[in-house]
Amino acid sequence: MKKVAIIMGSSSDLGVVRKAADVLRELAVPFEVHVYSAHRTPEEAKAFAQNAREENFGAIIAAAGKAAHLAGAIAANTTLPVIGIPVKSSTLDGLDALLSTVQMPTGIPVATVAIDGAANAALLAAQILAVEDPELARKLASKRAADEAKVLADNAAVAEEFRQQ
């Protein structure tokens, strides 16, 4: 199976990024986690992106906050699908990172999830790999079914609590 790369701009992003690792672990998708900054280590970020396809990665998740150029910088150096996670920092509530990540120019797409949306980033990466992997597609369908069952059980409990005689 292809691997997923999870790259973050700083180790201070790890609290958010961990949720992506948890989801990939749950789905038994192989992954690697690295810290490469678009600004502090631009050469390493570029080299990782350029080598990712031959290193058997199938999708790259890039998480960064503030002036969040990491996902775009990675995407500029690979044609693998890149998923950006805008990370909420201490100022501007993550809107800075959201706009920096999502507003890519035509030709260099970054599939951007919600601010701190690490679980969805991992699910999207898994869905990309599942295009060619029926077993992974089955696991994703089963996870959706479990989520559906939970909402239906919640509905039954809430409806019962507020039922009027």
CB of 66 to ligand RP5, least distance (A): 4
What is the Cα–Cα distance from 112 to 102, expressed in whole angstroms? 6
Tell me, what DSSP letter sits at residue 62? Answer: E
Residue closer to ligand RP5 (CB basis): 91 or 127: 91
Residue closer to ligand RP5 (CB basis): 27 or 49: 49
CB 116 within 8 A of CB 87: yes
CB of 152 to ligand RP5, least distance (A): 37
Q: CB-based burial of residue 70 (10 Å sphere; 0-12 exposed, 13-18 middle, 19+ buried)?
A: buried
CB of 143 to ligand RP5, least distance (A): 28
Residue closer to ligand RP5 (CB basis): 12 or 79: 12
CB 65 within 8 A of CB 36: no
Task: Count how many Cα atoms sit within 13 Å of the Cα of residue 124 in the half-sphere of its side chain.
Answer: 20
CB of 156 to ligand RP5, least distance (A): 41
Q: Which runs of E-coded beta strand occur in 81-154?
A: 82-87, 111-112
Residue closer to ligand RP5 (CB basis): 70 or 130: 70
Task: Count how many Cα atoms sit within 13 Å of the Cα of residue 121 in the half-sphere of its side chain.
Answer: 36
Residue closer to ligand RP5 (CB basis): 58 or 86: 86
CB of 73 to ligand RP5, least distance (A): 11
Query: Which residues of this chain interact with ligand RP5, rule CB under 6 A?
Result: 9-10, 12-13, 37, 64-66, 87, 89
